[in-house]
Amino acid sequence: MKIETVCIIDDDPIFVYGTKVLLNYNGSFCSTVIVHEDGKEALDSLTAMVKSGEQLPDVIFLDLNMPVMDGWEFLDEFVRLPLKNKPRVYIVSSSIDNLDIEKANGYDIVKDFIVKPLSDSILADLFKNIETEGAA
């Protein structure tokens, strides 16, 4: 399975920049990167995509600690949307709190909890797993 679109929901411009650089490295991971700085902005945009029948991103990298609407609030609203094809959500956080990890595991849509920073090897493994799942 080829990953077309990745959505980054994070208010940290350094993390966003670094992740975009990694995703665009050799053009091997995805074709399009969408960025939202908080959960509300992301939810509004993704809700509009669902309503218009647009294809949602294949992968969402979601930060937990953001202003306006945090990652948990975003997830609680996002899972209520009538999604035909559910994106794979990866929580990417600087939190190493086991309670956060356990809470993340309670959402069917969340595929993994990744502690920041993302690296080339983490992304390579993640996308290899997605391709394997898609082929199965």
pLDDT in tens, the chain (136 residues): 578 899 999 999 999 999 998 888 756 678 899 999 999 999 999 999 999 999 999 999 999 999 999 999 999 999 999 988 889 999 999 988 999 999 999 999 999 999 998 888 888 888 888 877 766 5
Cα–Cα distance measured from residue 101 to residue 50, given in angstroms and rounded to the nearest whole number: 28
Give the burial string for 35-68 (b: 16+ CB within 10 Å, else e): bbbbbbbbbeebeebeeeeeebbbbbbbbbebee
pTM, rounded to two decimals: 0.93
Residue 100 neighbours by CB under 8 Å, 6+ apart:
64, 91, 93, 113
CA–CA distance, 127 with 76 (Å, rounded to integer): 25
Tell me the domains of the chain and their CATH numbers.
5-135 (3.40.50.2300)
